[in-house]
Chains A and B, each alone.
Chain A
Amino acid sequence: MTLSIHSPDELIAAIPHLLGFKAEESIVFVPLRADLPLARVDLPTTASQRNEAWGAIRGAFSRYAQPGASVAIVCMTHDQQAADLIGHDYAVRLASIGIDTPLKLSADATDWYDLDSGESGVQSEGARNRLAATTVLAGRAHPVSDRDALATSLVGDREPVAQFLLRTRDESAQRSPGQDEQWALGRLQQFQADGVRLSDSDAARLLVTVESIPVRDELWNDMRRDNANSHVALWTDLTRRAPDEVRAGPASLLGFAAWQSGNGAMAWCALDQVPKDKRYVLADLVAAAIQTGMHPREWEAVKAAPPQREVERGSDFILGHARAQTGPTRPAPGI
């Protein structure tokens, strides 16, 4: 999603739409015309917390930094003194890996402040409305009130689908795997065409069917950045409705789709819905991709490559960016 911003007021108004929720007591790094990720962290008020947060985001920023890369720093807090200290601290850290920070702001509930010039202004209703309209047109969901609300949005009434599971398993056992695979692909296409929520029986059947790794992979393989929003809608609904025994698959697929659509917070919340009692490989893999700030286009590059070139092409992408960097190509091991 590309947003055109004309003022600090508009930049602050854009942040909830980029994150999917309203950030409070946070520091947000907004990429400005670059392939850098956007990152949000709970406001690190101690030196130790700042070091820890930097260790977690440095790799993602340095990997994709190109000459001229810049980010805006926005401290969402009522504590102006803390914002000034933290904002300038991270500006120095980013400069050390070749990233400029031409805009450093803080924002409380009503006003914004420029940490360099001291200029300030009111967060206007007009800017909020304009950015809301722009992001809705881009297919973004309206941001929820906070990060906890995002997590809560993935927990629904799971009893109706649970009542169908036993019968669905019995019926599935009488069909060939190929029949269920064909049905699942067709049901996905139907949802992509009409967007209508699945009935409880269809939801149960799809949840049981994606327990099969080959079938799940057929649906996973369908995901692209241009249809990620549709996948997010489908797997969000199924994650909300899936009982524990069938939730690992849809929650992991939601995590992947959310990451592909650029919604890292939703991806983390989805992975939190994977039951902890047994390991699910795809959930671990998506967590690794998000944790390291991997850009979705890397996945598309390797998936599109012929089998023998799959990983090499992904590496080419990384190296291509690394060669263009002005800072370190990669953080030291263990950072």
Chain B
Amino acid sequence: MKFTYRPSRPSSRLERLLGRLAGDRPQTPKPRFPIDLVCNADVRIDPPHSRDDDS
């Protein structure tokens, strides 16, 4: 089964904006199980001795 996003007549400026941004992407197969994508996660692997320097 293909992920078939269609703009479905966005009716506002923000919808059109998001539609053009999100719609301008390669279609991906819709998985049969949930896939959770999280953005904004930035994990740093630091040496143990730097622990006290954390801000």
Chain A residues in contact with chain B, CB under 8 A? 1-7, 11, 14, 18-19, 30-34, 37-42, 49, 52-53, 55-57, 59-60, 72, 102-103, 147, 213-214, 217, 220-221, 225, 259, 261-265, 268, 279, 281-282, 284-296, 298-299, 302-303, 310-311, 314-315, 330-335
Q: Contact: A264 with B26, CB < 8 Å? A: no
Chain B residues in contact with chain A, CB under 8 A? 2-3, 5-15, 17-48, 50-51, 54
Cβ distance A105 to chain B, nearest Cβ, rounded Å? 12
Please, which residues of chain A bring their CB within 8 A of the CB of B28? 55-56, 59, 291-292, 331, 335
5 further A-B pairs in the complex, CB-CB below 8 A; given A1-B40, A279-B8: A14-B43, A57-B35, A72-B43, A220-B14, A292-B28
Please, which residues of chain A bring their CB within 8 A of the CB of B3? 291
Complex Cα gap A214–B11 (Å): 9
Complex Cα gap A213–B44 (Å): 41
Complex Cα gap A19–B34 (Å): 13
Please, which residues of chain A bring their CB within 8 A of the CB of B37? 37-39, 57, 60, 264, 290, 293
Please, which residues of chain A bring their CB within 8 A of the CB of B15? 213, 217, 281-282, 285
Q: Contact: A289 with B18, CB < 8 Å? A: yes
Known: A298-B21, A311-B17. A264 touches B36 (CB 8 A): yes
Please, which residues of chain A bring their CB within 8 A of the CB of B47? 6
Q: Contact: A221 with B44, CB < 8 Å? A: no
Cβ distance A235 to chain B, nearest Cβ, rounded Å? 16
Please, which residues of chain A bring their CB within 8 A of the CB of B24? 311, 315
Cβ distance A77 to chain B, nearest Cβ, rounded Å? 15
Q: Contact: B35 with A33, CB < 8 Å? A: no
Q: Contact: A30 with B12, CB < 8 Å? A: no
Complex Cα gap A34–B39 (Å): 11
Complex Cα gap A264–B34 (Å): 10
Q: Contact: A311 with B21, CB < 8 Å? A: yes
Q: Contact: A292 with B42, CB < 8 Å? A: no
